[in-house]
């Protein structure tokens, strides 16, 4: 199905859609995607594609012209989309990728499943080891790409295998050892799209697991800004240091550019407190990096993924 944006939003004759293969899912042209991210900022996707299922995704990748860039988005809890939008096709995995099922002490999850859904599925089955996922507000696909983690556990500790589709539409089953997983990093080529994963849990007590998940939620309420437009931790912790402490020591707590602000509560979080643009948020992040470098000599690494084009120029993809 092809859905065209109203004429006033339509780009003048890009014709990209005419070059894309037929699919069973949905194409949207010049699609607004800011609302698909936590920051709620950024320009449109030239085309947004929601595959009907994995076979549809494979057919799309195998059939698309090789020069068309493809970007996959989870629920955008770690992503800043630049104001000029994303050229090419943005893929969003929908319901067909959102299941979580128990098989003995294993959990099979689609890449579009929320981490919290996977944690809750394990808890209901009396399986322990995946509680940490309940505090991470992303999808399994985003979690694999970021090797997401919290409270001393990360994806690689519980992963048995991940299934991914390469840019030609070939399916790969990957073991953690093949994936180059390290702190907030995954070595699988950026263009590969995860479609599902299998996780190892252990038999435990449902009530104890539920309590651990409640404790995680309470700890987050205490230490992190909630119900705000943010991308979570902006910068990765440098070896042996805490990014928030370096940012605090550099005097950046509460710093603002436009409606972008360094959180007062947790200063490794950047917030959109009103009508911030992606440029405001990215500039604020760069200013924080500059001040931290000046005060400590340490260059912070962006953990948040910045994707797409700046408004003023047509380059700048990260």
Q: What is the separation of C-alpha 3 from the centre of its chain, rounded to a whole number of angstroms?
A: 25
Chosen residue from 47, 48, 148, 246 binding ligand FAD by CB under 6 A: 148
- Residue 165 Cβ, how far from ligand FAD at the closest point, in Å? 9
Binding letters toward ligand FAD, positions 94-113, x by CB under 6 A: -----------------x--
The answer to the question of residue 306 lying near ligand FAD (CB under 6 A) is no
8-state DSSP, 312? S
Q: Note whether 254 and 261 are within 8 A (CB).
A: yes
Choice between 28 and 266, CB closer to ligand FAD: 266
Q: Return the range that interacts with ligand FAD (CB under 6 A); candidates 5-13, 134-142, 256-264, 272-280.
A: 134-142
Residue 20's CB: how many other CB atoms inside 10 A?
17
Instruction: Just list the catalytic residues.
Output: 184, 233, 303
Among 78, 196, 237, 268, interactor with ligand FAD by CB under 6 A: 78
Angle at alpha carbon of residue 23, lines to 25 and 46, rounded to 5°: 80
Report if residue 85 touches ligand FAD, rule: CB under 6 A. no
Closest separation in Å from C-beta 117 to ligand FAD: 12
* Token pair recorded at residue 50: 């929601």
Q: How far is the CB of 11 from ligand FAD (least distance, A)?
A: 23
Based on CB atoms, which residue is closest to ligand FAD, 65 or 152? 152
Q: What angle do CA 56, 57, 62 make, to 5 degrees?
A: 100
If one asks whether residue 135 binds ligand FAD (CB under 6 A), the answer comes out as yes
Please tell me whether residue 142 binds ligand FAD under the rule CB under 6 A: yes
Candidate list 28, 64, 163, 305; residue touching ligand FAD; CB under 6 A: 305
Could you tell me which of 25, 24, 153, 11 has the C-alpha nearest to residue 86? 11
Q: Does 193 bind ligand FAD (CB under 6 A)?
A: yes
Binding ligand FAD by CB under 6 A: which of 25, 77, 234, 278?
77
- Residue reference for tokens 């494979």: 58
- Whole-Å CA distances, 198 to 116, 155, 166, 287, 293: 15, 11, 19, 40, 40
How many other C-beta atoms can be found within 10 angstroms of the C-beta atom of residue 281?
Answer: 30
- If one asks whether residue 255 binds ligand FAD (CB under 6 A), the answer comes out as no
DSSP character for 108? E
CA distance 90 to 68: 10
DSSP secondary structure string for all residues of 156-222: HHHEEEEEEE-TTS-EEEE-GGGTT-BTTB--S-TT-EEEEEEEE-EE--HHHHHHHHHHHHHHHHH
Shortest Å distance, C-beta 194 to ligand FAD: 4
- Going residue by residue from 11 to 50, which x/- string records binding to ligand FAD, judged by CB under 6 A? ---------------------------x------------
Total interface residues for ligand FAD by CB under 6 A: 31
Smallest distance from ligand FAD to CB 159, Å = 13
What would the two tokens of residue 115 be? 């981490």
Run of H or E including 305: strand 305-307
User: Does residue number 143 form part of the binding site for ligand FAD (CB under 6 A)?
Assistant: yes
Among residues 127, 136, 158, 281, which is the contact residue for ligand FAD, using CB under 6 A?
136
Comparison of 27 and 38: residue with beta carbon closer to ligand FAD: 38
Interface residues with ligand FAD (CB under 6 A)? 38, 72-79, 93, 111, 135-139, 141-143, 145-146, 148-150, 193-194, 224, 230-232, 305
């Amino acid at each position: 199905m092809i859905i065209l944006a109203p004429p006033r939003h339509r780009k003048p004759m890009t014709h990209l859609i005419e070059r894309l293969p037929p699919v069973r899912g949905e194409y949207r042209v010049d699609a607004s995607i800011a609302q698909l991210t936590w920051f709620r900022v950024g320009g449109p996707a030239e085309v947004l594609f929601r595959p009907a299922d994995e076979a549809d995704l494979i057919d799309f990748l195998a059939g698309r012209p090789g020069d068309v860039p493809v970007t996959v988005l989870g629920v955008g809890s770690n992503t800043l989309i630049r104001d000029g939008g994303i050229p090419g096709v943005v893929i969003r995995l929908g319901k067909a990728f959102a299941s979580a099922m128990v098989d003995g002490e294993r959990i099979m999850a689609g890449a579009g499943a929320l981490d919290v859904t996977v944690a809750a599925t394990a808890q209901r089955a009396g399986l322990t080891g995946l509680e940490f996922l309940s505090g991470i507000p992303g999808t399994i696909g985003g979690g694999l790409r970021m090797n997401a983690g919290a409270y001393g556990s990360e994806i690689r500790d519980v992963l048995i295998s991940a299934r991914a589709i390469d840019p030609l539409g070939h399916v790969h089953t990957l073991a953690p050892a093949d994936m180059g997983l390290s702190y907030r990093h995954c070595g699988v080529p950026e263009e590969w799209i995860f479609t599902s994963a299998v996780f190892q849990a252990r038999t435990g007590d449902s009530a104890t697991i539920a309590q651990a998940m409640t404790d995680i939620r309470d700890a987050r309420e205490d230490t992190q800004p909630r119900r705000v437009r943010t991308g979570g931790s902006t910068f990765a912790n440098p070896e042996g240091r805490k990014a928030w402490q370096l940012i605090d020591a550099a005097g950046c707590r509460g710093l603002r550019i436009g409606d972008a602000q360094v959180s007062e509560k947790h200063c490794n979080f950047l917030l959109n407190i009103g009508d911030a643009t992606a440029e405001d948020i990215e500039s604020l992040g760069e200013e924080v990096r500059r001040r931290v470098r000046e005060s400590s000599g340490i260059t912070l690494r962006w953990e948040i993924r910045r994707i797409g084009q700046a408004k003023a120029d047509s380059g700048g993809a990260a």
